[in-house]
Chain A
């Protein structure tokens, strides 16, 4: 087993929702509801799920960009949850984020040089000359030329902007990077360039990634471990080769079936899942997936499934489904 870099224990983030006439009875939205997983050093944990499943909220809660309601986050042995704001600020150096829309996360009025120097000035001691040298080095690392230095974000294409976003995240030499849909806004021909870059950087600097995406193909390529989220909960976690070959949760199987396949056998009738995810404000009782599950049993609407370990060769594969519970299904 590789060395642990990130541990997430029973993390939860709830929102109280405004609405209704009675202000006292605010409904609670459990966007993230008791999520636990680990990421090894130099490894990628891919987090997949449909919109509204809580994957972005989870990503932000890990970095404490959103304050978790409950649970613990441990980065390289140091607990992140519970740090006061000054200590958290120092810790930020170790954990960075890459966003989906690089244009929205880059200031339109600042040059690449200014944007890359800022995190250095905050977190890395050194002379201005050394900072400039580091900025040049960063541009090389992400495959942008030195000519990028004094240009503004609007002068770059989508793929190049994402490279700037990556350079900024890497400037302070983080241990963990949470990447939230980093290639979803990019054209197909550019997506794979950025994915290859992220994989190279991981190898070179031993980075750990939490990679959030709705695209199962993208996640497969970049991840070592996969977690599938549904209505705020991880319903299945497994090593990447295993989950694509032997998905255990009916929801994971449905997600895989729904991916359109380019080329090869076309027009295979996809087994389309009925309906849409229920509102997280009012999740169904029992297993949250039972309302759409093609294999639902009577017990699924009554009892919340426990986590079942389907370990193989010492590699953890966890699923929350009654179908795999030896006490329930014979």
Chain B
């Protein structure tokens, strides 16, 4: 199934870690597409494979431990899986870039902000030294950094967390990539800063028609920024739906449980919060059937034995033998 409008197509992607004796499948047959100007959210809890998926797309899986064992990743038709590193390096930065949760790990502490930003555009966009400097300044201003000229001469440690994340966004978008992967971009930020940073990403996306893949555990952020959502659990895609459908009519029991369990500000306090019982199973000891069965109130023996396939249900796709019907959840 090829979508002509899609910028990024991921098809049946599988990623494994470890050697033959003890391989763990961290990503198991994930498929999605993203069109220019659209945002796809990948949500799930720690260990669900959402970050691994993004690293696989960027060609940044830790080697030799992690490898793509099956599937395809196409960026405007070009197959990325298996591409040699020198070609990958040209695509990264110019056509797709990534921002991480902790910008300090991606910024070099011994170079000024200006030097790092200029290096990126000179290398990937082929700008002259002076033009690169101008582009860096322009990008810093666009992401709302006050006194941008002065910031160019500063080092990463002189900036606050929110500022650093904005520098990362400015840097990631300075070469006008067609795809931006944002891995928990606001998780380390305070709520008031988080709102500002999300606004910035959205504004730049509108201006440049960038496709965005947003990796997050925060369903609130998903609701406010995404067009489509993939829900992952134990490396598998359990549900994929347009964002309205996901929140108004979650189909998979895990999605339903997650939405109910998010602590939210309520007009009347509950005496008890709804919970998803138990915890996420170990990837090396996955059950033969549905990986959520052990925590699911609707599971029967069928669920324990067989893996449900992804099937269409209205606008959604869901891998569940007993999906929720169209009633909205509270």
Contact = CB atoms under 8 A, between A and B. Distances in A.
Answer whether A and B are interacting partners.
yes
A192 B218 CA distance: 14
A50 B244 CA distance: 30
A258 B261 contact: no
A266 B247 contact: yes
A223 to B, nearest CB: 9
Nearest to B224: A260
Contact of B247 (A240, A257, A264): A264
A79 interface: no
Contacts of A260: 194-195, 198, 218, 220-221, 223-224
Interface in A144-161: 157-160
A221 B195 CA distance: 23
B217 A192 contact: no
Contacts of B276: 189-190, 192
A193 interface: yes
Contact of A267 (B160, B224, B267, B279): B224
Contacts of A240: 269
Interface string B220-259: 1111100000000000000000011001100000000111
A141 interface: no
Nearest to B247: A263
Given A189-B276, A195-B273, A270 B195 contact: yes
Contact of A221 (B45, B223, B263, B275): B263
A218 interface: yes
Contacts of A158: 46
A281 interface: no
Interface stretch (A60-68, A209-217, A297-305): A209-217
Contact of A262 (B264, B274, B279): B264
Contact of B279 (A157, A192, A256, A261): A157
B85 interface: no
Interface in B163-217: 163, 190-196, 198-199, 217
Contact of B264 (A157, A217, A241, A255): A217
Contacts of B194: 258, 260
Interface in B263-292: 263-267, 269-270, 272-277, 279-280
B272 A263 contact: no
A261 B261 contact: no
A196 B220 CA distance: 21
Interface in A176-203: 187-193, 195-196, 199
Contacts of A266: 223-224, 243-244, 247
A261 B269 contact: no
B224 A263 contact: no
B221 A187 contact: no
Contacts, number: 134
A282 to B, nearest CB: 14
A218 B269 CA distance: 11
Interface residues of A, number: 46
B220 A187 contact: no
A261 B223 contact: yes
Given A188-B45, A193-B277, A258-B192, A272 B259 contact: no
A240 B160 CA distance: 31
Contact of B265 (A220, A272, A275): A220
Contacts of B195: 257-258, 260, 270, 272-273
Contacts of B190: 50-51, 214, 276
Contacts of B146: 275
Interface in B59-76: none
Interface string A250-291: 000011111111111011001011111000000000000000
Contact of B263 (A157, A192, A244, A264): A192
A28 to B, nearest CB: 21
Contacts of B220: 259-262
B202 to A, nearest CB: 9
Contacts of A189: 45, 257-258, 261, 275-276, 279-280
Q: Which 4 pairs, one residue from A and one from B, show the smallest C-beta to C-beta distance?
A: A260-B220, A263-B247, A189-B276, A192-B273
Interface of A: 50-51, 157-160, 187-193, 195-196, 199, 214-218, 220-221, 240-241, 244-245, 254-264, 266-267, 270, 272-276
Interface of B: 45-46, 146, 160-163, 190-196, 198-199, 217-224, 243-244, 247-248, 257-259, 261-267, 269-270, 272-277, 279-280
10 contacts: A187-B46, A188-B219, A189-B276, A193-B275, A199-B272, A254-B192, A259-B191, A262-B247, A270-B199, A272-B196
